[in-house]
Structure formats: structure tokens, C-alpha cells
Amino acid sequence: MKFIHIADIHFDSPFVNLTDRESLGDLKRLEQRKVFKKVIDYIKENNIEMLFISGDVYEQKYIRKSTIEYINNLFKEIPNTKIFISPGNHDPYIKNSYYNRFKWNENVHIFNSKIERIEINDIDVYGYGFDDFYCTDCGIEDLEIEDKNKTNILVIHSTIDGANIKEKQYNSISRKLLEEKGFDYVATGHIHKIDYNSYENQKIVYPGSLISLGFDEIGKHGMIVGEIEKEKLELEFIPLSEDDFVEKNVDITDIISKDELVEKINELKIANNELVKIILVGKRNFEIDKYEIYKLVLNERIIKIKDHTKIKYDLKKIANNNTLKGLFAKEILKEKEKASEENIDIIEKAVEIAFEALE
């Protein structure tokens, strides 16, 4: 049986913290649609029998009916493909959700908060969906596979081996427990980084987010294409995302003016598929207004600027002055001599704050 496994599409995400450019949110939402259509086209061209979507299809707070209709119309184009959706923490199966109040095409099955088993010939598909924005117990511990001679698949949105309190709120499940249950494939979602070949005979798989949603999701994004039989599992990752988020450091230590900095940024080589965050580093010789610099940047692929620079101070020179600044500089020099490397940054930040206060 051939299948596709995707997750974490986040249709209609506002992308409010992603960029300083106003139009990029609209462009990313268009990319979501374009890449999702690629999935559907691949299914049509390759006779894929099942599509597993492991949660966070959309953003409950922002989703528009027109987007739901767009998704469902694409589902209508693959009537012979069985579609299984496991609602997650961003698109839970709640009273006013489109999972609950929209008429989906007949090839779509949406799981709810009671673990369910769907029989399709020699395959049993189990699934669970969030019924709230948090989940601390989905009841998987009590689940027993009914027929281990069949190919058994679990579709679920979860945090595997979640350790901290935050992770445990998003359906934390023990990898060991899942392996003991005996599923032939676990199609899970929630973690936006792909994880499908990190150890031998891996059956618990994260496809990652369908497209990259921000600078914390650097790398390729796409879908898992699989073929499964009892005791046989073949998987392939196919990248689909059109834009790659990258970070580029610009050291300003030897730059002496705003104009020179803007010129250096405008000379950076940036690929057509890259969305770039510029990180300014080093010791600055002039005050930086990143928003003013941003307006002068020519390349529209540069969508964010972060200032991680530090003021260039000559502490030894300042320490020779018989002033409050001088006395403070002397004490700081003593502290720096005995400070560990990890504390140097803290000390330098304290110097910057203190000197600004003493101006």
C-alpha cells in the first residue's frame, strides 16, 4: 500500500513575527496553498492509496472558510485516496471548528478524542485527535491492537518522549510504549523537523512541517512517501518547500558608518529561493537604527535584521579617568580578569547598560 504522510501545514498562519516586510505573510500563505497542491498532484500522478495528515492542518484562530473550501476541493480531486486527519493543538476538534461544522468530502476521515480504528481490507488505521488546545492523556496506554496479522497504522499528533512541562501538554507519548504496541507505522506530527531515518528500522516518523514557517525551521521541508506491507516499510522524503530560511552574520567591527553598513548588506550574495535574516555582530563604532537600515536595503529577500552588536569601549583608557565611569571601568576590568568565557558577554552587556545610564 502506497501512502503519503504530511503534518503541520498551519494554513492561514498570520506570520506576524516572521518579517519586517508587510507582504511576506501573504506570500507565505500562497506558498502553503501551492505546496499543498503539489502533494495532491503527486497523489494523482502516482496512485497513492492513503494520505495521513498528522495535525495542525490550519490555525483555528485565523482560518477562513475559503481556505477550508480550497483544501476540501483538492480532496475531491483524489476520490480514490483515503484521507485521515488527526487534529492537533492548533486545529483541535472543538465545537466551532471546521472539522465539526463543515461537510468534508466522503474520502476524508477526521479522528476525534476517542481512539478509533478504521478497517480497510488488510490494513487497520487507528487515530486520535485533540479536542482542546492541550492534551495530557490521549489514552494510548490502554490501546491494544486488535489484529496483529494486519498492517496496523497509527495517525496521531504528539510529542514523543516529551520531558518538560510544556512538552507534556502536547500529548507526550513514550517512544518505548509506542514500539511495544506493535504498530507497523506511526504517522505523527507536531515537531516541525523531519525525523524518519535517525535509527534502524524506524517506524515512528515525523515528516516535519510541510513548508518552512520561520528561521527556527532551517532546512528542507516536504512530505514522506511510503510503501508498506506487513514486515516491510520503505520511506522516502520528498522536499517541496520553495523558500529556504537562512541567517547571515555581518560583522560591523571595521565599519565606521551607516552608509558603509548598508552598502555591505546590499553586496551580499543571496539565492532566489532564500529568505534571509541579517544578524549584525561585532563591536559597533556608531549607533544603529536597524529599522532605518532596513528601509535602505535593496534586496527584498532580506526580511529581517537583528542587532547583536556591542559598543566598542576602551575600558583601560576609561579606567584612567578620575570619574564615576573610570571607577566603574576599573572594577569591570578586575571582574573580567577572573570571569569565565560564558560570563564575559553578561559583563559586557552590563557595561553597555551602565555607561548609557551614566551619559
Phi, psi dihedrals of residue 37, rounded to the nearest 5°: -65, -35
pLDDT at residue 157, rounded to an integer: 98
Rounded to the nearest 10°, the torsion over CA 64, 70, 73, 78 is -120
What is the C-alpha to C-alpha distance for residues 203 and 43, in angstroms, rounded to an integer?
A: 22
Query: Whole-prediction pTM value?
Result: 0.83
What is the C-alpha separation between 13 and 19, in angstroms, rounded? 13
Q: What is the chain's pLDDT, residue by residue, as a tens digit (359 residues)?
A: 999 999 999 999 988 777 666 677 888 899 999 999 999 999 999 999 999 999 999 999 999 999 999 999 999 999 999 999 999 999 999 999 999 999 999 999 999 999 999 999 999 999 999 999 999 999 999 999 999 999 999 999 999 998 788 888 999 999 999 999 999 999 999 999 999 988 888 999 999 999 998 888 888 899 999 999 998 999 999 999 888 889 999 999 999 899 999 999 999 999 998 899 999 999 888 888 888 898 899 898 898 899 998 877 777 878 888 888 788 888 888 887 887 777 777 777 777 777 666 66
pLDDT in tens, 118-173: 999 999 999 999 999 999 999 999 999 999 999 999 999 999 998 788 888 999 99
Cell of 44: 494523482
Can you tell me the distance from the alpha carbon of 34 to that of 12, in angstroms, rounded to the nearest whole number? 13
pLDDT tens sequence across 193-212: 999 988 888 999 999 999 99
Strands 222-229 and 204-205: unpaired
How confident is the model at residue 67, as a pLDDT?
A: 97
Chain centroid to Cα 157, Å, comes to 14
* Per-residue pLDDT at 356: 65
Query: Grid coordinates standing for 176?
Result: 518505548
Residue 229: predicted pLDDT = 93
DSSP collapsed to 3 states, the chain: CEEEEEECCCECCCCCCCCCCCCHHHHHHHHHHHHHHHHHHHHHHHCCCEEEECCCCECCCCCCHHHHHHHHHHHHCCCCCEEEECCCCCCCCCCCCHHHHCCCCCCEEECCCCCEEEEECCEEEEECCCCCCCECCCCHHHCCCCCCCCEEEEEEECEECCCCHHHHCECEECHHHHHHHCCCEEEEECCCCCECCCCCCCCEEECCECCCCCCCCCCCCEEEEEEEECCEEEEEEEECCCCEEEEEEEECCCCCCHHHHHHHHHCCCCCCCEEEEEEEECEECCCCCHHHHHHHCCCCCEEEEEECCEECCCHHHHHCCCCHHHHHHHHHHHHHHHCCHHHHHHHHHHHHHHHHHHC
Rg of the chain in Å (alpha carbons):
26
pLDDT at 359: 60
CA angle 109, 3, 102 (to 5 degrees): 20
Distance of alpha carbon 246 from the chain centroid: 14
